[in-house]
Amino acid sequence: MNARDNRHNREQRAAAAPDHHNEPDRAWIITTMTLEEIRGQENAMEIPDRVQSAGAALEELLQAAKKQEYLTVGVYESAKVMNVDPDSVAFCVLATDEEYECDIALQIHFTLIQAFCFDNDINVVRVNDIERLADLVSAGEPGEPKDAHCILVTSPSANPWKDPALDKLSGFCEERRSVYDWVPTVTLPER
């Protein structure tokens, strides 16, 4: 093929191509999305149902763990358990309120607790209704409600406790981590 043939082929392609000079200007927008963003859009409609379902599972888990005496309630009490017997921790709940926003020490404790949980493959969720959470873990007990900013569900290392609600919450946390939601927020059901 020589230069004349190449020029002829270019001219034929140009003649066959649509004439964009007579059309109005078009703006082309190219959007690039990450896999996580695509998954997020696909699952956006299902998230409220899953959060509600996880909230019901959390309520079930806390009630069952309380009956078995597998709950540790309070930031300092939880830190002690994590220090003495970290293998016994099965699940962690962090609760925020207005006090959390103003309490730097509490924020530091939360950061350390989250880091411990991440390092030890312990699932963590956040709850925004601390009063409801305190009612759940203090129900039937005399005296003031406990400090429910941090609640651990523990399980004896020798005989690990199996609970369907714990399995459901573990699956929920794993699913949320797949879209980079490391500490998902769970909404407890209304009473």
Task: Write the CB contacts of 112 (distance below 8 Å, at least 6 apart in sequence).
Answer: 79
Task: Find residue 93's DSSP bridge partners.
Answer: 125, 151
Beta strand spans in the chain (E): 71-73, 89-95, 123-127, 150-154, 185-186
CB 36 within 8 A of CB 179: yes
pLDDT in tens, 45-63: 455 566 668 899 999 999 9
78 pLDDT above the threshold of 70: yes
pLDDT given for residue 175 in this prediction: 92
Helix axes 164-177, 47-68, angle to 10 degrees: 140
pLDDT in tens, 12-23: 555 555 555 555
